[in-house]
Structure 1
């Protein structure tokens, strides 16, 4: 691969919480390895190319989520890309939009259906540091380092059998609270879940941006886009990133 193209999907409606930074992290870590890398912003009502190397989606409010879901369903490009094996990273509202359904503006809205998940509302906002141990499921099998971020949401996301958690919570709320899972047979497992993994889609409630705080996760996405293993990717030694990560993990 001589060039990497990162799709920044709907930054005009899913760019509320600085999650555009994930695309910047991917581009910079690729360039530091001598790879040509560019970001392609894809705005609302623009077609989503289905042949980019990586796709990132960020967070947004209710109206923005509805607009994003309607566009991505009608366009179909992101779904075709995921089906073709291109890695997708979805953050917070992006996670909800890629699920089967989510609640927004007082109603249930159809999602894109790339993740077997439904999202309802929580009684209290989950806000603060969130940390988890990676489950190592599916595409994330090579992840070994703790995951850390900042959550700010009121979505209670319940995973269906086709999706697995990205991480097992060690701090924070993650996908769901006690009230959301009280009647579920696997409610205890759901209450420890953070994020989701299904096929080539990795989704999480971690802001931060997530990839700035979790460089191993960023490198995993790069490796998958390049068709190599994480172990084959040239390591990077960036003291500032190591220091930031150590500080955040101490707080977790």
Structure 2
């Protein structure tokens, strides 16, 4: 992020990938930036518009099979997100968005569909659907507290050697590949199956993305309300 311009948050394809309220992730980043006096601008990019490669944080949400396939096709042709990721921009993707960041994912009939190849994962369709609360302990190197969210997917995601698991599953299904992990990350590209929205329920994860984007440690803010929400959800799942 350049010091002479606002933090640029880019919400990609709200007309295709916003099934489960994941645009709330954008609102949380805006709010937490504003509370710290970090100037920002948010750009909503519809699927008939080019993705601006000069963004600092790019967000993708969940979606159904056909919109997911269409989004992958258009993002491959556009190239803006790939250009941004290659220069070190932050990319945060949820569910369908998470899958399409990988090399391939399962289409409407389970057929392999080419992804963007921005994260070393491959996804297919499992036999059973994962629906419910998920809790995970995040990779120690990310220094983020235990995460909580809601999953609703039939995907099975396998992590290649070029990526790392985001979290070890404590409750729920996660990637569903039998390894007991949820999500994946590599560099500043991070994906998860968690809805909720994920950054609403996990302010530590939101602050990780902001820290990556601004390139420095963030000032602490009052997290009492977010903390209450987290404690309620964790207690409900783990009790």
> What TM-score do the two structures reach when normalised by structure 1?
0.90
Indicate the residue corresponding to 1:10 in structure 2.
13
Q: Which residue of 2 aligns with 1:244?
A: 229
Structure 2 unaligned segments of length 5 or more: list them: none
Aligned to 1:39: 42
What SS does the aligned partner of 1:166 have? strand
Deviation at 1:34, TM superposition (A): 1.3
Q: Distance in 2 between matches of 1:164 and 1:61?
A: 26
Match for 1:30 among 18, 33, 57? 33
- Paired residue for 1:102? 105
Q: Tell whether 2:202 aligns with 1:202.
A: no
CA contact (8 A) 1:143 1:217 kept: no
Alpha-carbon separation, structure 2, partners of 1:52 and 1:3: 10
Deviation of 1:17 after TM superposition, in Å, equals 0.6
- 2:118 match: secondary structure: coil
Partner secondary structure for residue 234 of structure 2: helix
Residue pairs, 1:50-89, within 5 angstroms: 50-89=53-92
1:9 Cα deviation from its structure 2 partner:
0.6
Distance 1:174 1:196 in 2: 10
How far does residue 174 in structure 1 lie from its aligned partner after superposition?
Answer: 0.3
CA distance in 2, matches of 1:194, 1:240: 26
Displacement after TM superposition at 1:226 (Å)? 0.5
- Once the 2 structures are TM-superposed, how far is the Cα of residue 38 of structure 1 from its aligned partner? 2.2
Q: Please say if residues 85 and 200 of structure 1, whose CA atoms lie closer than 8 Å, have aligned partners that are also in contact.
A: yes
| Greater CA drift, 203-212 or 238-247 | 238-247
The answer to whether 1:122 aligns with 2:126 is yes
Superposed CA offset, 1:146-170 (max 9, x none):
0110000000011111111100110
TM-score (norm 2): 0.94
Within 1, Cα distance between the matches of 2:177 and 2:71? Answer: 26
Matches of 2:125 and 2:146, distance apart in 1: 27
User: Could you list the runs of 4 or more consecutive aligned residues of structure 1 that deviate by over 3 angstroms after TM superposition?
Assistant: none
Cα deviation for residue 212 of structure 1 reads 0.5
SS in structure 1 of the partner of residue 164 of structure 2: coil
Following the alignment from structure 1 to structure 2, what is the Cα–Cα distance between the partners of residues 119 and 193? 14
Unaligned runs of 5+ in 1: 179-190
Q: Distance in 2 between matches of 1:60 and 1:119?
A: 15
Q: CA RMSD in A?
A: 1.1
- 1:45 deviates by 2.3
For residues 142 and 125 of structure 1, the distance between their equivalents in structure 2, rounded to whole angstroms, comes to 29
Q: Residues of 1 paired with 2:146 and 2:219: CA distance?
A: 20
- SS of 1:153 mapped into structure 2: strand
Q: Could you give the per-residue CA deviations for residues 15-44 of structure 1, whole angstroms, max 9, x where no partner exists?
A: 001001101100010011112222100110
